[in-house]
Structure 1
């Protein structure tokens, strides 16, 4: 099992809270007639992407409470904003103990300190939030105060030397000159802005 060492001792919990608050706002604005729309994440339409967002919160709760995400499906059966918001609140409570940040846990990509797992799921919330926003015609830029530290930590945790295309992201996409921080983070995760922005 690969072990990822903890990066700088930055607490990701406030950033994760902000990311999930932003995603809750996006989910509340999704209309029923948008569920079948495609998204920049080729695997999902709007409805299944919404279920994926809920599933990721369930997995970060399981990591805090059980030490592993294995018992929770990455795709939830629900796709609504209220379920996401309820689980996001539970996740904040599950991660309240500071000791969890440096405790070894098992994320889907391997063993790492808790804070690294939480940074990974913060990145997932922001990138899938961007996917959801552009697919449904909502403002797609989260607060840069959330995005910029997440981007910094992702590049620290997964430097180019160890990043393999498709694991866990697609090939890096060069951002547009006018791309904002969230779009750039999505491009770094392999999302193309072409035809979406």
Structure 2
């Protein structure tokens, strides 16, 4: 990735997609299982909001290792507001174009800011799929975002990187006619 693109517009689109999904969650849904085997939907929402705060923190100059990707759970109907606060913080933290070229201390190491943004696009899009599946599908997810996330995933998470300690399962096969969301899920080790 010699020239890193500015993925902030895609990140904002990914946040908008998450906002639509969070708005569809009812308190009765919060204990549902998700494609992330270790998370219920409540735990996944917490991870997503906490991850956005972590992304904001590194945009503000912090090191990812210094903050946990989680929050104190809001009320059962408070998830959309919690997401909105995190999204506003992340958008503000990454507004300065100069941050794209600066060293950033992401969870996976020191990288230029633009690469951190790309990694968090991937995170937001993958977890959007997870949430949509937990809510029984029926959501039209953004194909262009999924293509961007898959390109990032293929670059930064090659099959040989799936070793102990990496929070992604082995790449799974995807059907020849699988859509981009199913291919992304398979690349991330999720059964579509």
Task: Classify 1:7/1:48 alpha carbon distance in 2 versus 1 (closer, same or farther; 3 Å).
Answer: farther
Question: Matched residue of 1:66: which SS?
Answer: coil
Mapped partners of 1:94, 1:17: distance in 2: 12
Asked if 1:89 is matched to 2:88, the reply is yes
Which residue is equivalent to 2:162? 164
Which residue is equivalent to 1:3? none
Mapped partners of 1:141, 1:160: distance in 2: 28
Asked if 1:77 is matched to 2:60, the reply is no
Q: How many residues align?
A: 187
1:138 offset after TM fit, Å?
A: 3.5
Query: Which stretch of the first structure deviates more once superposed, 76-85 or 109-118?
Result: 76-85
RMSD of the alignment, in Å?
Answer: 1.8
Superimposed CA distance per residue, residues 139-176 of structure 1 (whole angstroms, 9 cap, x where no aligned partner): 35521221212211222233345x22452411011123
1:136 offset after TM fit, Å?
A: 0.9
4+ long deviations beyond 4 Å:
none
Match of residue 55, structure 2, among 56, 60, 78: 60
The TM-score, its normalising length taken from structure 2, stands at 0.89
Task: Classify 1:140/1:68 alpha carbon distance in 2 versus 1 (closer, same or farther; 3 Å).
Answer: farther
Query: Which stretch of the first structure deviates more once superposed, 68-77 or 182-191?
Result: 68-77
Which residue is equivalent to 1:18? 13
Structure 2 stretches of 5 or more lacking a match?
none
Structure 1 stretches of 5 or more lacking a match?
1-5
Relative CO higher for 1 or 2, CA cutoff 8 Å, sep ≥ 6?
A: 1
1:10 offset after TM fit, Å?
A: 0.9
The structure where helix makes up a greater share of residues is 2
